[in-house]
A and B are shown apart, each in its own frame.
Chain A
Amino acid sequence: MKKIVVILGLMLVLSPLFSGGRQETSPAVTDADGHAWMEGPFVHGLPGVNPLKVRGNIITAGSSTVYPLSERMAERFKEEGYNGTITIDSIGSGAGFERFTVAGETDIANASRPIKDSEIEAARTIGRLPIEFRVGTDALAVTVSKENTFLQNVTIAELSKIFGSATRWSDVNPSWPNQPIQRFIPGTDSGTFDYFAEEVFDKRVEPMLSATNLQLSEDDNILVQGIKGSPYAIGFFGYAYYAENADELNILSIEGVEASAEHVDDGTYPLARPLFIYSDATIMQEKPQVAAFINFYLSHVDEEVVGVGYFPANEAAMDRGRAAWLEAMQL
């Protein structure tokens, strides 16, 4: 009997050992030490960040499109010395805003669409004023399997039938096969979904959601997997997920325009959309590590964005974000 007690006691005592590895070094530090991480040359007009001197945790959540980009920036932040916790949850822009504006759980919301007025209102009720930071541009990739031989280009009108009322490919264009269309689209919490509904269906969600043969997921990987599986499958998601799987998927050109850096830049690609992160001035001041991370993000995202699979936002938009940062930090 005593032996059991001893064993249990040992387990309790030894449990902190399980907390090995890297850990948070100390809780958030405010004011006096708050800006100790600012050092080094200015980058794009923002004070340099030394991640070695950033302390505390950062909580972010939101768009699955922005996720790979934020993940890369977080990894780089860590590589350069940040020793705290960053959590990034890939749950969809809508859910990310929910956590940011209603529950107040997150410090940063990742979004592949601009914040809605209703969401700004909700944030106001919990004392937050969202600040928008543009971080990149996505060329929404409408993709089909490599085995699809009949589709290289679509018009917006055809898209609205393919993802809406049509049941078979031949319904949209008689020269296409007489096979049911298998659809893989992001879930309703996703900013990508909202954006597509806005561009192709004039903001109506019903046609997309009442389509036959429909699979929805917030996890774009599931969509990629599904589209790979059949020549009659089609879906859409952020460009990075296409880039990661370029050897198994084909991207369609929209209205004759290919998704490329120059077409995104000059605005001719119809489905180019901005990527954002949102935060709030109070959070940035109370949790200087959040400010540091956003600074780091805005300073270096142009170096990483292409590697992740997206496109840089134009300088003007980036500068607006940087100015907003300086204003929020009252610098």
Chain B
Amino acid sequence: MAHIARKSSFSISLIPKIVLFLCALISIVITVGIAFILIRESYLFFSDPEVTLKGFFTGKQWQPMIGRFGFLPLLNATLTTSIIAMSLGIPVGLAVAVYLSEYASEKTRGILKPVLEVLAGIPTIVYGYFALTFMTPLLRNIFGDDVVEIYNTASAGLVIGILVLPMIATMAEDAIGSVPKELRLAAYALGGTKLETTVKVVIPAALSGLSATFLLALSRAVGETMVVALAAGAGPNLTANPFEAAETITGYIVRISGGDVSYNSVDYNSIFALGLVLFAITFALNLISRTVSNRFHQEYE
């Protein structure tokens, strides 16, 4: 469509195009900038004689001050909180999505959708406050003070689950809603109940969109910072017990940069190396998510 427009003389009509193209290019500059900075500082980090790639990926202790550079404890904490978050967010979010798209009346949808939007718009710091002042005491009440530490990954994980819930519900609802009506009608015609149609026909049909949703939600949970900064803990800890305190990748970055690192110290460089890992993980998740949703999207066009 763009090239049907009348082409006037050279200079005038090209100026807007060039300016706007430069605006669009800035987005590339940002990506390049992020990649460049992360890689350069990570290079500085890895070129420090005490740091080895093998040690980084397999080491079990993270304490840069005394030369321990194994990032497994941080990764483990990140995974623990994310998995707990997904265990809460995916079932409930999916159920909400199914309810909204298949069962709810117009009136109910009219009430529920704004509720989800409100939940989605609440800043993460509020969730952090909630985790520390409500969820942790609740867990301590249920499981006992001596089982649940005051900083723990379970509390953070559950609250992150609540945090991603609206996102999962909305996107899953979109995915389910975009399954053509014909499929449902065909199932009903064959005598299926609403449940059977939904579970055996609609959801499998929407599977690509749903997978994309879950991957994006996981990526969001992995990148979440404030909830873990307030509630999960301030020390790296390689443990399988979610009731113990453990610091995640994002929590560590925030703690160190909040404490103001000296430039060119190994601490400063380490937050960029970790940032690179984080970027890689979320980038991979996002990419897979888009590929999955694109691939199957065409099937029903």
Interface, chain A (partner B; CB < 8 A): 61, 89, 91-92, 94-95, 98-99, 102-103, 182, 187-189, 205-206, 209-210, 213-219, 222, 225-226, 228-231
Cα–Cα distance between A89 and B260 once the two chains are bound (Å): 9
How far apart are the CA atoms of A188 and B62 in the complex, in Å?
A: 13
The 6 closest A-B pairs by CB, nearest first: A229-B150, A215-B235, A91-B260, A218-B259, A95-B260, A217-B234
Contacts A215-B151, A230-B146 given; indicate if A91 touches B61 (C-beta within 8 A): no
CA distance A89 to B257 in the complex (A): 13
In the complex, A177→B181 CA distance in Å?
66
B148 CB to nearest A CB, Å: 9
Which chain B residue shows the least CB distance to A228?
A: B150
**Would you give the shortest CB distance from A256 to chain B, in whole angstroms?**
30
Cβ-defined contact, B260 with A230, below 8 A: no
Distance to closest chain A CB from B74 (angstroms): 13
**Cβ of B150 and Cβ of A210 under 8 Å apart?**
no
Beta-carbon contact of B260 and A209 below 8 Å: no
A37 to B224, CA, bound (A): 49
Q: How far is the CB of B160 from chain A (nearest CB, A)?
A: 19
Q: In the complex, what residues of B have CB within 8 A of residue A103's CB?
A: 263
B261-289 CB mask vs A (1 if < 8 Å, else 0) is 11100010000000000000000000000
Chain B positions 207 through 235: 1 when the CB is less than 8 Å from some CB of chain A, otherwise 0: 00000000000000000000000000111
B109 at the interface (CB under 8 A from A): no
Q: Is the CB of B235 within 8 A of A214?
A: yes
- The interface residues of chain A lying within 8 Å CB-to-CB of B259 are 91-92, 95, 187, 189, 218
On chain A, the residues within 8 Å of B66 by CB distance are: 205-206, 209-210
**In the complex, are the beta carbons of B255 and A187 less than 8 A apart?**
yes
- Determine the chain B residues whose CB is within 8 A of the CB of A95 once the complex forms: 259-262
- Nearest A residue (CB) for B146: A230
* Cβ–Cβ < 8 Å partners of B262 in chain A: 94-95, 98, 102
Please tell me if the beta carbons of B149 and A209 are within 8 angstroms of each other in the complex. no
In the assembly, what is the distance between CA of A59 and CA of B263, in Å? 19
Choose one: B65, B146, B245, B261; the contact of A215 (CB below 8 Å).
B245
Q: Smallest CB–CB gap between A184 and chain B, Å?
A: 8
Kindly identify which residue among A210, A214, A216, A229 contacts B151, using a CB–CB cutoff of 8 Å: A229
Which residue of B66, B235, B245 has the most chain A CB atoms within 10 A of its CB atom? B235
Give every chain B residue within 8 A of A214 (Cβ-Cβ).
235, 237
Residues of B contacting A92 in the complex (Cβ-Cβ under 8 angstroms) = 259-260
Q: A215-B151, A217-B255, A230-B150 are in contact. Are A209 and B65 (CB under 8 A)?
A: yes
A-B contact pairs, 5 of them (CB 8 A): A91-B258, A210-B68, A214-B235, A225-B150, A229-B145
- Contact call B235/A216, Cβ cutoff below 8 A: yes
Residues of chain A contacted by B267 (CB below 8 angstroms)? 188
CA–CA, A226 to B151, complex, Å? 7
Whose C-beta in chain B lies nearest to the C-beta of A208?
B66
Instruction: Give bound CA distance, A182 to B146, whole Å.
Output: 12
Any A CB within 8 A of the CB of B63: yes
Give the shortest distance, in Å, between A112 (CB) and chain B (any CB): 15
A-chain residues with CB within 8 Å of residue B234 when the two chains form the complex: 215-217, 222, 226
Residues of A within 8 A of B235 (CB): 213-216
Q: Shortest distance in angstroms between A177's beta carbon and chain B's nearest beta carbon?
A: 11
The docked-state distance in angstroms from the alpha carbon of A230 to that of B144 is 11
* Residues 143-167 (chain B) with a chain A CB within 8 angstroms: 145-146, 149-151
CB distance from A220 to the nearest CB of B (A): 11
Query: Beyond A225-B151, A226-B234: 7 further Cβ-contacts under 8 Å?
Result: A61-B260, A89-B260, A91-B260, A205-B66, A226-B150, A228-B150, A229-B150
Q: Is the CB of A218 within 8 A of B61?
A: no
Closest to A186 in B: B259
- A188 CB contact (under 8 Å) in B65, B68, B237: B65
When the two chains form their complex, are residues A230 and B145 in contact, meaning their CB atoms are under 8 A apart?
yes
In angstroms, Cα B256 to Cα A94, docked, is: 13
Contacts of B68 in A (CB 8 A): 209-210
Q: Mark B53-76, 1 if CB is under 8 A from A, else 0.
A: 000000001010110100000000
Identify which of A89, A99, A102, A213 gathers the most chain B CB atoms within 10 Å of its CB.
A213
Distance in Å: Cβ of A219 to nearest Cβ of chain B: 8
Complex contact A205–B65 (CB within 8 A) = yes
Query: Contacts A226-B150, A230-B146 known; A210 to B63 CB distance under 8 Å?
Result: yes
Instruction: Give the distance in Å from the alpha carbon of A182 to the alpha carbon of B149 in the complex.
Output: 9
**Nearest-CB residue, chain A, relative to B264:** A102
In the complex, what residues of A have CB within 8 A of residue B237's CB?
Answer: 213-214
Distance to closest chain B CB from A96 (angstroms): 8
Q: How far is the CB of B141 from chain A (nearest CB, A)?
A: 13
Closest chain B residue, CB of each to CB of A229: B150
- For residue B255, which residues in chain A have a CB less than 8 angstroms away from its CB? 187, 216-218
Contact of A209 among B63, B146, B150, B233 (CB under 8 A): B63
Q: How far is the CA of A249 from the CA of B130 in the complex (A)?
A: 24
Contact A218 B258 (CB under 8 A): yes
Q: Which of A210, A215, A219, A228 has the most CB of B within 10 A?
A: A215
Q: How far is the CA of A81 from the CA of B260 in the complex (A)?
A: 31
Contacts of B245 in A (CB 8 A): 215, 226
- Contact (Cβ within 8 A) A98 B149: no
B contact residues around A188 at 8 Å (CB): 65, 267
Q: Give Cα A210 to B235, complex, Å.
A: 11
Nearest-Cβ distance from residue B41 to partner chain A, whole angstroms: 18
Write the chain A residue with the least CB distance to B245.
A215
Minimal Cβ-Cβ distance residue in B for A231:
B146
In angstroms, Cα B151 to Cα A89, docked, is: 25
